[in-house]
Amino acid sequence: MPPLLEAVDLFKRYGTTVALESVTFEVHEGVTGLLGPNGAGKSTAIKLFLGLIRPTSGTVRVLGNEPYKSVEGRARLGYMPEYEALPSNITASEFLMHMAQVSGLPPSHARTRAADILRHVGLDEERYRPIGEYSTGMKQRVKLAQALVHDPILVLLDEPTAGLDPGGREEMLELIRRTGLVFGISMMLSTHLMGDIERIANRVIVLEDGRVAQEGTVEQFTQETEDLHIEVDDRRDEVIAALAARGIEVKENGVLLVVEGANDAKYDAIRDVVADTGARLRRLAPHRHTLTEIFQE
Amino acid sequence: MSTERQGEVYDLGYQRYDGPREGRRRAQRAIFENGVRTVLGLGRGPKAKILPILLLVGAMLPAFIFIIILSLTGDGGADFIPGHGDYYQVIATILLIFSAIMAPELLVSDRRDNIIHLYLVRPLTATDYVLGRFLAFFVIVLALAYSGQILLLGGLLLTSSDPWQYLQDNWADIPRFLAAGVLVALFITIIPMAVASFINRRAYAAVVVIGLFFISSGVANGLTSHSETCHEITDQNGRGVSFECTQADEPVAGDAAKWFALISVGDVPTRINNMIFDREAGSPAEAAAAELHDSIPIGVYALFTVLPGFLMWWRYQRIRV
């Protein structure tokens, strides 16, 4: 399968400021997270993928087209901006119907599609209310709905949980997860919140100072740093000493003893040490690092 | 015997779309149609419909009044009421106020609410957007302009003692008002839209447009008018009984008056209308400009339509998402 999105040796400069430098990556089907702090180049990358700006050099292809050259190619692309981009005086139904037509759908199909998508994002009963009367969470759903109304192949989401309270954030993440992973719409999610990516993405691309710092599956990142957490009620020092004698380094983290890089041999060694020392084992469990822990280190 | 009805509720979830996709042409049409709906207040609350209705009534009301006068006075009345050549001047202020208020409604909201960003990431260019919005507005202003003229034509025909003879004598008015309508509507549409492209507050944009038309017209008429000198006439007891005024031979601005006349933005379409109908000038500014060769008012008209059109297009090429 050809990639949905492809950046090859991409450079983007604004005057003397370098926004992206030699960026190369591919995005395939599924949900991909574009992670990075503010100023890392995420917004510039999104604008390049949408065809709103041209690269200084290098190539960008979205759904097989160079987006700034092919206006028609945008017909199968969806975009949900970070900031508010909704009219206040018309209903969600009217707005979505219009946006579906601007994406190329005939009016009769646009009407059906608007109704389907508003039901999908949970705004079925509110669809005839002016958008200006909606809560922040409901507006965020309308923004997602307008990005999906024309059934795109790939949707670019820019900070989709920005400004939401914890409950609203959970609901939005669940909605994106269902749309992306259950219903098969490929998505690229730009965010600085690692928790969001961990919840819904299966791949992650980390941008730092305009360059790709890391890239891989979310599972790959978390698996490589798997630790074992041990908690004993007594004979703690003896356990540490016995493990050290077997060449296993133990870190203390509060009540926990942490052994990095779990594998079968370490499991066996811990079992034997606990049996030999007679320590009362309360907990022995693998701990998978969160992306937050990995990238903050 | 009763039968038990059974049913299940399914979560249909996300539905894929495999219907037709009409691409950029559908997008262009959608921008145009949405522009028409926005101007007419369709799909919006009742308040959004008040202004378009009032303006439609305002554009047609003079024609109604003229028809009533004609029906009361018969054929002779046609010589005294304004005809097709005067009608655009009669409704120009109404059309202008409508344009000044509705052009920002069409353009400013899309920019201020960032809807323009959602358009530009779809199969639509900034040029498509500007053209679609402009055409939507132009068509409505043109329809408003024509509505009164058509009503007036109907009234003149129906109140004439010999409608067929009337039509034979006056048929040339029809292509004239159709052509003048296009030029007047183009002018009255494009300047407010250009102003609304640069100002992000609807009220300010409307004030700038109205100010531009009325202030420039006031200044031009002031500079092209003829000053009057009055002195008091007294009776034999020295008490003032009346005033005697004499008008200066030269306009206030002297020989340059005909050039100052050109700064009146509001008079630009009127001059073109007068040329089409071969009609005499009305205001001092129009009279002063009538001294110029025809090519100059035509050139000014072209400048006042092409330049705002270009500025509007240029502004939207620089919209950044």
Q: Does A79 touch chain B (CB under 8 A)?
A: yes
Average pLDDT for A98-127? 92
Q: Do B22 and A104 touch (CB under 8 A)?
A: yes
Q: What is the pLDDT of residue B15?
A: 80
Q: Which of A47-56, A172-181, B47-56, B119-128 has the highest mean pLDDT?
A: B119-128
Note the ipTM here. 0.80
Which pair of structure tokens corresponds to residue B91? 């409704």
CB atoms within 10 A of CB A253: 11
Q: Does B112 touch chain A (CB under 8 A)?
A: no
Q: Which tens digit of pLDDT belongs to each residue from A73-101? A: 888 999 999 888 999 889 999 999 999 99
Q: Does B119 touch chain A (CB under 8 A)?
A: yes
Q: What is the pLDDT of residue B180?
A: 92
Considering only CB atoms, A74 lies closest to which of B26, B113, B121, namely B121
Q: Which tens digit of pLDDT belongs to each residue from A266-290? A: 889 999 999 999 999 988 888 776 6
Q: Do A101 and B26 touch (CB under 8 A)?
A: yes
Q: Do A151 and B45 touch (CB under 8 A)?
A: no
Q: What is the pLDDT of residue A58?
A: 93
Q: Does A47 touch chain B (CB under 8 A)?
A: yes
For residue B114, the distance in angstroms to the closest alpha carbon of chain A comes to 5
Under the banding of pLDDT at 50, 70 and 90, the label for residue B225 is confident
Q: Does A116 touch chain B (CB under 8 A)?
A: yes
Mutant choice from A102, A116, A146 vs B, greatest count of B C-beta within 10 A: A102
| Chain A residue with Cα closest to B38 | A90
Contacts of A271 (CB under 8 A, 6+ apart): none
Under the banding of pLDDT at 50, 70 and 90, the label for residue B10 is low
Enumerate the residues of chain B whose CB falls inside 8 A of the CB of residue A72. 23-24, 123
Under the banding of pLDDT at 50, 70 and 90, the label for residue B249 is low
Q: Which tens digit of pLDDT belongs to each residue from A197-213? A: 888 888 999 988 889 98
- pLDDT reading at B3 higher than 60: no
- For residues B251 and B261, is the Cβ–Cβ distance under 8 A? no
Please give the model's pTM, rounded to 2 decimal places. 0.82
3-state secondary structure of B247: strand
- pLDDT reading at B253 higher than 70: no
Q: What is the pLDDT of residue A238?
A: 92
Higher pLDDT among residues B126 and A192, named by residue? B126
- Give me chain B's average pLDDT, please: 84
Mutant choice from B121, B202, B321 vs A, greatest count of A C-beta within 10 A: B121
Tell me if domain A5-218 and domain A225-296 are identical in fold.
no
Q: Which tens digit of pLDDT belongs to each residue from B194-219? A: 999 999 888 899 999 988 888 888 88
Domain boundaries, chain A: 5-218, 225-296
Q: What is the pLDDT of residue B198?
A: 95
- Look up the CATH architecture of domain A225-296: 2-Layer Sandwich (3.30)
- Look up the CATH architecture of domain A5-218: 3-Layer(aba) Sandwich (3.40)
> What is the full DSSP assignment across chain A?
---SEEEEEEEEEETTEEEEEEEEEEE-SSEEEEE--TTSSHHHHHHHHHTSS--SEEEEEETTB-TTT-SGGGGGEEEE-SS----SSSBHHHHHHHHHHHTT--HHHHHHHHHHHHHHTT-GGGTTSBGGGS-HHHHHHHHHHHHHTT--SEEEEESTTTT--HHHHHHHHHHHHIIIIIS--EEEEEES-HHHHHHH-SEEEEEETTEEEEEEEHHHHHHTT-EEEEEESS-HHHHHHHHHHTT---EEETTEEEEES--HHHHHHHHHHHHHHT--EEEEEEEPPPHHHHHH-
Domain boundaries, chain B: 24-233+242-317
Burial class (CB in 10 A: 0-12, 13-18, 19+), A54: middle
Enumerate the residues of chain B whose CB falls inside 8 A of the CB of residue A146. 118
Average pLDDT for A18-28? 91
In Å, what is the CA distance from A216 to each residue of A20, A34, A239, B289, B307?
19, 11, 36, 74, 53
